[in-house]
Chains A and B, each alone.
Chain A
Amino acid sequence: MIRRMNHPAWFFTPYVILFTTFIIIPVVIAIVLSFTYFNTIQTPDLIGLKNYIELLTRDEVFMQYVLPNTFKFAFIVGPVGYLLSFILAWMLAQVPHKSRTVLAIILYSPSMTAGIAMGVIWTVLFSGDSTGYLNALLLNIGIVEEPIQFLTSPDYLMTIMIVVSLWGSMGVGFLAMLAGIMNIDPSLYEAAYVDGLRNRWQEIFYITIPSMKPQMLFGAVMAVVGTFQVGAIGVQLSGANPTPQYAGQLLVNHIEDFGFIRYLMGYASAISVVLLILIYSISKATWSLFGERD
């Protein structure tokens, strides 16, 4: 009996069950649906690869706006957010324990509250009304003559999306890195200084980063994967899906557009499969950049 209870299968069953129900099954369903025409009301019809063919050949918005936007957004917010996380984590590691906890909470909180804060703080801050904070400030100083339409004008929307996302990017990756830095054995630094380490830069590059490689990898994967998954932000800021002139249209918005506005679930599933492939390959690439090569 005890032998049976100790069987390794017991330890991973909960994981397998949860992972299957919440990840594997939905993914499989999405893949199956991506080969169908499904309007959410009638039963799905199998139509083969048509969705994929249309995605690649006819969907102008996808090619012209969504993909470039998504890559632009992901490759700025991902790496910059990642660097910021590291720098802030390292800086926090230098301050005393109590104030560190407080500061860490302050830095971490935007990533938890982002959704609500976006609606409340950022839309008011960037409001195109002359009473919006930023506009009122600019008008008062005399820099602009009339309010700038930060949230509706396609020229500004993407930049603002990036700024707001960076503000909220101190998430789990940041915490992991902070933990990683804190866990480095201080004797390593002492030893290094004995061996002739000259300044903090060298400390970071020769000791800190190599000692926290797993956390760096985790942070990188989370940062890159995370940025592909966000979509709410452009819609929240501009107040509508699609965003004006698709200026802030990301892959996730495109999926919602087809799934819930045009009622083309099959097509939406096809896009989400593409998103899945994208994320997977990028996280693979991240692995090969930051992962341990055995």
Chain B
Amino acid sequence: MAGKRAIVKKIVIASVLVLFAVIVLLLNRKENIDYKDFATEMGVVADFAGDKYVQVKKEYTADPAVQNLEFTADELFIDTFSGIDYGYSSPMTYLNNSEEFTITVNLPDSGLYNIEVDYIDISSGILPAELAIKINDLLPFYESESVKLSAIWEFETTEFMLDRYGNEVMPSSKKAAQIQTSKFYDTTALNREPLVYQLNSGTNIISFKIKTGEIILGSIRLTSPENLIAYDDYLELNQGEVKNQQILLSASELKAKNTPSIRLRSESDPAALIYETKSMRLNALDGYSFRSGNYAITYEIDVPETGYYYLGLKYRQTYLMQMPVFRELSIDGTVPFAEASMLAFHYTKDYRNLLFGDEEPYMFYLEAGLHDLSLRVVLEPYRDAYETIIGIMDEITDLSLEIKKLTGNNPDQYRTWKLINFIPDIEIRLDKWLEQLNRIEVHLKTYSHHANPGLLTNLNLAIEQLTKLREDVDIIPSKMMLLADGNTSAAQMLGSIVQNFLQNGLDIQSIYVTGEKKLPAAEANFFKKNIESIKRFFLSFSKRNYQVTESTTGVIDVWVNHPRQYIEIMQIMIDSDFTANTGIKVQLSLMPDENKLILANAAGNSPDVAIGVNHWIPYEFAIRGASLDLRQFEGYEETVGLFARGAMIPYAFEDGIFGLPETQNFWVTFYREDILVDGLGLEVPDTWTEVIEILPKLQRYGMNYYEPLAMFRGFKPFVATMPFIYQFDGNLYSDNGISTEINSDQSLEGMRLMTDLFTVYNVPKEIPNFYQHFRYGTLPIGISDLGTYLQLTIAAPEIAGKWNIALHPGVEKEGGEVVRWAASGAQASMILSSTDEKEDAWRFLQWWMSTDVQSQFALRLQTTYGVEYLWNTANLDAFAQLPLPQEHIDVILNQWEYALEASRIPGAYMVEREISNAWNEIVFDDVNPRIALDEAAKISNREILYKMEEFGYVVDGVVVKDYKVPTIYNIDDWLTERSGDDND
């Protein structure tokens, strides 16, 4: 009986086991099937709205078109343009922002086409016109959503201007008034060839939408796709021999470029075609400015006799470590043969001569006469690597979110997870990544002359880390640092390498068109080089660029606290505009250090005007009688009307205004759309209450909110603390200025929120670098300023388009208004009271801050040095014209309606300091906020009283003169001009 039972038991157990095994096998099989499905899908990056061009192109069934079709403007539009004669024979039409038009094509057979247009860009902005092209109302591929028509940019002058030290000054650029013909290209240049569209037989409607820009359009042509011949066939086309001629062109003789950002620079290389020991000559093309996809430069050469020539460059390429960058060469707008479409420029630390070619230099057939040589940045060789890595990064982010959902934010180090049970395909995913990354690495290495290119170090490390994780996937929860968190994670390393692929800079010093293979030496000989550097060393004792000089009469001396490049442009603008119109001479000097202004003032040789000083300096000078009240001047009202009201607060003292804002900062919410909105489904918070509401969800995924108090380590300045006080209707000082109001009920409420965020809601207390955390996604939302904005636009291409800005969070008042006071102070200008030419100085300041001059300066800065040089002018109208995305400008201008600066009174620093100390006490020592603020108020009041006594407002503890405190509530009193008589 017992034995029988035991047998039954055994059978049951055995069948359970078998069943289990079958299930496991089935499950495994299912996984295998999944994997196959996955693998076929793998190539398609499903992240984007449309499919990528590469995929779409593979699926084209039609043959290249045999016949070209042309549509003239009068066929497509009713209105034709005839304002200016551009020497264009066909009709033209004017097209503006957000206009749309369509072409209807009836085709007997389907075919592949390029689209080519004749146009001229006439917008005043610096960004190229952007279009979207759809076929039959469908986006044929992702890249078609945004294609660009760039303008032809050329230097204002080819004779470079000299500054007052004899150095050549970088000229600004302007658009050429010239019709150009261009095909549509992939904006990223990851696909080199002009985009190919498939049109089916029957009716096709091609629609064009102008997203931004202003163009005059000529004809549109549908052309048969570009078909490049091989070099060997090219040689068959023309008979001739290599000519014994040599043309040397300096890179500075640039004829045209397709973006204002490309600039020249001065290279102190004695072997350069243009070189002088004493002064700086613009003799090379700055490679960093010539790094992004589709950037192109054009040189004009004059070929003396028809025949074959070699083409070459003297170049330096330090931008991709031990890997080549690629350029497409075209002559008179066409690529001569297939090999010239992707010329490699290998890594070199010193300038090197190169004749384009393989082992033997290529021969190019040139007719006698003028020809345009163009080089365009193409990134196609890196496309596969780029797109695959981007795909893997997204998948890593997904996986890490999945793991975090599972394990929570701070996983227990001693708990072992069986990840495969929760994420069954985790091993498959890692295998797939490793396989792809290894393939990419092998492929990329074939480009390089080096066995282990430095550029790929991060790729190797990422592979190593992923391999380690693959060996035992169960350790991943405790090794998230290797996968996706922090800057040594695989995801981050992949991110940094991906950025590099898009930055293909190339320095160029000269262009060679030659029949001889022998070229001028790329490097000066040893003796010449050394003698030159010794000469320059001794010259460096006498040359003083824009250095402060003794103040002179009859000339307005202006000290400028901006970089040298800014001063060069300012001086040119002043000379050609201000001095030319008014006869007032202005001399700019570079202010090395703001403290020098104070010392110069003590020594009695201060300038007439100081520009670009910190926004609290004018007050410090005013209270000691060293800066000039601007309300006495004619035109004061119009000038201050250009700025945000709150921005004027720091310059008010007694009843005068002692400075003008020059640049302005903004504090707004930055958020990651991909993580916050798409990933977590959260809305961007508008008020502090909403901020607090999203915190639990963020923190559950190991993310958090960034409040800029965390940026300031020990001492929390007004910039960070004041918004809380004013948003709750608090005030820093009492109306008579003799005491502080930081312990009022309103201020207390602000202080509560300011500290609760850190103590109760666990927002991080110290974040030295928000920008990095924002990129990694650990802080997908936070408040930050202009600096972060610039960093994100310029130095974070991997998240471009994935983030946005919104208004600073505020406090909702009765009636629904959300009050969002935030700081805005940046740099200021002032007139020093020791000036002899105060009327002239004011006229200068008035001219400098006027809308036209400010927007012209902003434009010139960007057309000279590139789009990175954003001028954040305090002039609101000029700011509105900056070439930023309109939605960002709207947010910033809206935020500036709540621009605010801390009022200044004698002893204000003590209030600032005590608020900071109170914050510290509350957050770190758990002191009750009421007690901490009362204590802070006591200490501040004592200091204010002491200072008021120093400046004569209080004598022996009795108030003898009222001190009117400027605040956002009463600043308007200061914004009117004063009539002459009460000016004492």
Give me the interface of A with B, judged by CB distance under 8 Å. 37, 39-42, 58, 60, 123, 127-132, 139-142, 145-147, 149, 151-155, 157, 237-246, 260-263
One digit per residue, 1 when the CB lies within 8 angstroms of any chain A CB and 0 when it does not, for chain B 913-951 equals: 100110011001100000000000001000000100010
Which chain B residue shows the least CB distance to A130? B764
Contact pick for A40, options B602, B713, B925, CB 8 Å: B602
Contact pick for B765, options A142, A147, A263, CB 8 Å: A147
Whole-angstrom CA separation of A145 from B598 in the bound complex: 48
Are B625 and A238 within 8 A (Cβ)? no
| Interface presence of B953 (CB below 8 A) | no
User: Total A-B residue pairs with C-beta atoms closer than 8 Å?
Assistant: 90
Are B766 and A240 within 8 A (Cβ)? no
Contact pick for B924, options A129, A154, A263, CB 8 Å: A154
Whole-angstrom CA separation of A241 from B713 in the bound complex: 11
Give me the interface of B with A, judged by CB distance under 8 Å. 410, 413, 486-487, 595, 598, 601-602, 620-621, 624-626, 712-715, 762, 764-768, 909, 913, 916-917, 920-921, 924-925, 939, 946, 950
Whole-angstrom CA separation of A240 from B715 in the bound complex: 6
Which chain B residue shows the least CB distance to A142? B413
Which chain A residue shows the least CB distance to B910? A262
Max chain A C-beta neighbours (<10 A), residue from B598, B624, B924, B939 = B924
18 contacts between A and B (CB under 8 A): A123-B713, A128-B766, A129-B768, A131-B487, A139-B410, A149-B924, A152-B714, A152-B924, A154-B925, A155-B924, A238-B713, A238-B714, A239-B714, A240-B713, A241-B715, A242-B913, A244-B920, A261-B909
**Closest CB in chain B relative to A69 CB, distance in Å:** 14
| A129 and B764 in contact, given A243-B714, A244-B916, A244-B917 (Cβ under 8 angstroms) | yes
**6 tightest Cβ-Cβ pairs between the two chains A and B:** A238-B714, A240-B715, A128-B766, A239-B713, A41-B624, A244-B714
Q: Interface on chain A toward B: helix, strand, loop, or mixed SS?
A: loop
Which chain A residue shows the least CB distance to B702? A130
Are B762 and A146 within 8 A (Cβ)? yes
Whole-angstrom CA separation of A41 from B951 in the bound complex: 14
The residues of B that contact A130 with a CB separation of less than 8 Å are 764
| A127 and B714 in contact, given A149-B924, A154-B924, A262-B909 (Cβ under 8 angstroms) | no
Q: A147-B765, A154-B924 are in contact. List 20 more A-B contacts (CB 8 A).
A: A37-B950, A39-B624, A40-B598, A41-B598, A41-B626, A127-B768, A128-B766, A129-B767, A145-B410, A151-B714, A152-B714, A152-B766, A154-B920, A238-B714, A241-B715, A243-B715, A244-B714, A244-B917, A246-B917, A260-B595
The residues of B that contact A237 with a CB separation of less than 8 Å are 714
Which chain B residue shows the least CB distance to A39? B624
The residues of A that contact B917 with a CB separation of less than 8 Å are 244-246
Are A41 and B916 within 8 A (Cβ)? no
The residues of A that contact B714 with a CB separation of less than 8 Å are 151-152, 157, 237-240, 243-244
Are B765 and A128 within 8 A (Cβ)? yes
Are A149 and B766 within 8 A (Cβ)? yes
The residues of B that contact A141 with a CB separation of less than 8 Å are 413
The residues of B that contact A260 with a CB separation of less than 8 Å are 595
Contact pick for B921, options A37, A58, A131, A245, CB 8 Å: A245
Max chain A C-beta neighbours (<10 A), residue from B486, B715, B909 = B715
**Closest CB in chain A relative to B623 CB, distance in Å:** 9
Which chain B residue shows the least CB distance to A241? B715
Whole-angstrom CA separation of A39 from B626 in the bound complex: 12
Whole-angstrom CA separation of A23 from B487 in the bound complex: 49
Max chain A C-beta neighbours (<10 A), residue from B598, B601, B620, B768 = B768
**Closest CB in chain B relative to A94 CB, distance in Å:** 40
Whole-angstrom CA separation of A77 from B765 in the bound complex: 29
Are A242 and B715 within 8 A (Cβ)? yes
**Closest CB in chain A relative to B338 CB, distance in Å:** 49
Which chain B residue shows the least CB distance to A155? B924
Are B765 and A152 within 8 A (Cβ)? yes
Contact pick for A239, options B712, B767, B921, B939, CB 8 Å: B712
Which chain A residue shows the least CB distance to B704? A130
Are A245 and B410 within 8 A (Cβ)? no
The residues of B that contact A140 with a CB separation of less than 8 Å are 413
The residues of B that contact A123 with a CB separation of less than 8 Å are 713, 768
Are A238 and B715 within 8 A (Cβ)? yes
The residues of A that contact B950 with a CB separation of less than 8 Å are 37
Whole-angstrom CA separation of A245 from B714 in the bound complex: 9
The residues of B that contact A244 with a CB separation of less than 8 Å are 714-715, 916-917, 920
Are A149 and B765 within 8 A (Cβ)? yes
The residues of B that contact A151 with a CB separation of less than 8 Å are 713-714, 766
**Closest CB in chain A relative to B827 CB, distance in Å:** 20
Max chain B C-beta neighbours (<10 A), residue from A37, A39, A127, A141 = A39
The residues of B that contact A41 with a CB separation of less than 8 Å are 598, 601-602, 621, 624-626
Are A263 and B713 within 8 A (Cβ)? no
Which chain B residue shows the least CB distance to A235? B714
The residues of B that contact A261 with a CB separation of less than 8 Å are 909
The residues of A that contact B916 with a CB separation of less than 8 Å are 244
Are B924 and A131 within 8 A (Cβ)? no
Which chain A residue shows the least CB distance to B478? A140
The residues of A that contact B620 with a CB separation of less than 8 Å are 263
The residues of B that contact A127 with a CB separation of less than 8 Å are 766, 768
Whole-angstrom CA separation of A142 from B598 in the bound complex: 52
Whole-angstrom CA separation of A268 from B150 in the bound complex: 61
The residues of B that contact A246 with a CB separation of less than 8 Å are 917
Are A152 and B713 within 8 A (Cβ)? yes
**Closest CB in chain A relative to B659 CB, distance in Å:** 15
Are A153 and B924 within 8 A (Cβ)? yes
The residues of B that contact A37 with a CB separation of less than 8 Å are 950
The residues of A that contact B413 with a CB separation of less than 8 Å are 140-142
Which chain A residue shows the least CB distance to B772? A131
Which chain B residue shows the least CB distance to A150? B766
The residues of B that contact A154 with a CB separation of less than 8 Å are 920, 924-925
The residues of B that contact A139 with a CB separation of less than 8 Å are 410
**Closest CB in chain A relative to B378 CB, distance in Å:** 38
**Closest CB in chain B relative to A59 CB, distance in Å:** 10
The residues of B that contact A145 with a CB separation of less than 8 Å are 410
Whole-angstrom CA separation of A20 from B917 in the bound complex: 42
Whole-angstrom CA separation of A185 from B831 in the bound complex: 71
Which chain B residue shows the least CB distance to A156? B924
Are B766 and A147 within 8 A (Cβ)? yes
Max chain B C-beta neighbours (<10 A), residue from A129, A157, A263 = A129
**Closest CB in chain A relative to B568 CB, distance in Å:** 31
Whole-angstrom CA separation of A140 from B410 in the bound complex: 9
**Closest CB in chain A relative to B481 CB, distance in Å:** 8
Whole-angstrom CA separation of A216 from B865 in the bound complex: 60
**Closest CB in chain B relative to A29 CB, distance in Å:** 13
The residues of A that contact B767 with a CB separation of less than 8 Å are 129
Whole-angstrom CA separation of A40 from B626 in the bound complex: 11
The residues of B that contact A263 with a CB separation of less than 8 Å are 620, 624
The residues of B that contact A147 with a CB separation of less than 8 Å are 764-766
Whole-angstrom CA separation of A189 from B626 in the bound complex: 71
Which chain B residue shows the least CB distance to A238? B714
The residues of B that contact A58 with a CB separation of less than 8 Å are 946
Whole-angstrom CA separation of A237 from B624 in the bound complex: 33
Which chain B residue shows the least CB distance to A242? B913
Which chain A residue shows the least CB distance to B711? A239
**Closest CB in chain B relative to A46 CB, distance in Å:** 15
**Closest CB in chain B relative to A80 CB, distance in Å:** 25
Whole-angstrom CA separation of A155 from B487 in the bound complex: 30
Whole-angstrom CA separation of A260 from B410 in the bound complex: 45
Which chain B residue shows the least CB distance to A153? B924
Whole-angstrom CA separation of A154 from B916 in the bound complex: 12
**Closest CB in chain B relative to A54 CB, distance in Å:** 9
Whole-angstrom CA separation of A123 from B413 in the bound complex: 27
Whole-angstrom CA separation of A284 from B920 in the bound complex: 39
Which chain B residue shows the least CB distance to A145? B410
